[in-house]
Chains A and B, each alone.
Chain A
Amino acid sequence: DAKTTQPNSMESNEEEPVHLPCNHSTISGTDYIHWYRQLPSQGPEYVIHGLTSNVNNRMASLAIAEDRKSSTLILHRATLRDAAVYYCILRDLMNYGGSQGNLIFGKGTKLSVKP
């Protein structure tokens, strides 16, 4: 399975934009890029995902490099509630047999938000 590399931790100020990077140099053409986050003492929650084009939703934006070897999760205005561990995960569309839900979670990036 293709792996991802993320910084261990990042800091941000409240109400400022945050750019969380992820490297996935061995990504295959059928890998989706997913982002999840885990708030303290909670289960992970879905944030966003994409394949080739940049994606936006109410929580965040996902910018994908043209060669797809890296991506950036963008939180446009960080709030204290955004303090969490953010996971960048690859999901292979070609994992047939129903195993597409087998997401591999690394250690992620711990985001701290200062008031």
Chain B
Amino acid sequence: NAGVTQTPKFQVLKTGQSMTLQCAQDMNHEYMSWYRQDPGMGLRLIHYSVGAGITDQGEVPNGYNVSRSTTEDFPLRLLSAAPSQTSVYFCASFDGNTGELFFGEGSRLTVL
């Protein structure tokens, strides 16, 4: 079972570059989200989506864009990377029937 798949696993960017973190899930979950985790910290919610065509902001949305054109995919875009966006990013999908949040393995991003 694939579950939640994130790519790339590692990425190094220069300040001002843009990139997209990909996230796909094969469980037909309506809800998907993105978190970031900084060293020694808990996870903070960036953006979330409750279904195709619907997105909303989480706790720390600035500097990030999302879209949800299909149920399966929920990409996270960094428009102009900054060193403060150096972090580990986790994508998740939520099973409303069981109440369980499924996470990907994470994408480690370094912005120089």
Q: Which residues of A contact B (CB under 8 A)?
A: 32, 34, 36, 41-46, 49, 87, 91, 97-108
Q: Are B101 and A42 in contact (CB under 8 A)?
A: no
Tally chain B residues at the interface, Cβ within 8 Å.
Answer: 31
Task: Please report whether the interface of chain B is mostly helix, strand, loop or mixed according to DSSP.
Answer: strand
CA distance A107 to B101 in the complex (A): 18
A69 smallest CB distance to B (angstroms): 21
CA distance A49 to B45 in the complex (A): 20
Q: Which of B32, B42, B93, B96 contacts A100 (CB 8 A)?
A: B96
Q: Are A46 and B100 in contact (CB under 8 A)?
A: yes
Q: Are A102 and B100 in contact (CB under 8 A)?
A: no
Q: Are A98 and B30 in contact (CB under 8 A)?
A: yes
B85 smallest CB distance to A (angstroms): 19
CA distance A43 to B96 in the complex (A): 19
Q: Are A44 and B94 in contact (CB under 8 A)?
A: no
CA distance A44 to B32 in the complex (A): 15
Task: Please report whether the interface of chain A is mostly helix, strand, loop or mixed according to DSSP.
Answer: loop
Known contacts A43-B105, A43-B106; A105/B50 CB under 8 A: no
Cβ-Cβ contact count across A and B, 8 Å cutoff: 63
List 14 extra interface pairs beyond A42-B105, A101-B96, A107-B41, CB under 8 A.
Answer: A32-B99, A42-B106, A43-B4, A43-B105, A44-B90, A44-B103, A97-B50, A99-B56, A101-B33, A101-B93, A102-B33, A105-B35, A107-B40, A108-B42
Q: Which of B41, B43, B51 contacts A98 (CB 8 A)?
A: B51
A111 smallest CB distance to B (angstroms): 15
> Chain B residues with Cβ under 8 A from A36's Cβ?
101
A20 smallest CB distance to B (angstroms): 16
15 contacts between A and B (CB under 8 A): A42-B105, A43-B4, A43-B104, A44-B43, A44-B90, A46-B102, A87-B42, A99-B56, A100-B94, A101-B48, A101-B92, A101-B94, A102-B58, A105-B44, A108-B42
> Chain A residues with Cβ under 8 A from B42's Cβ?
87, 105-108
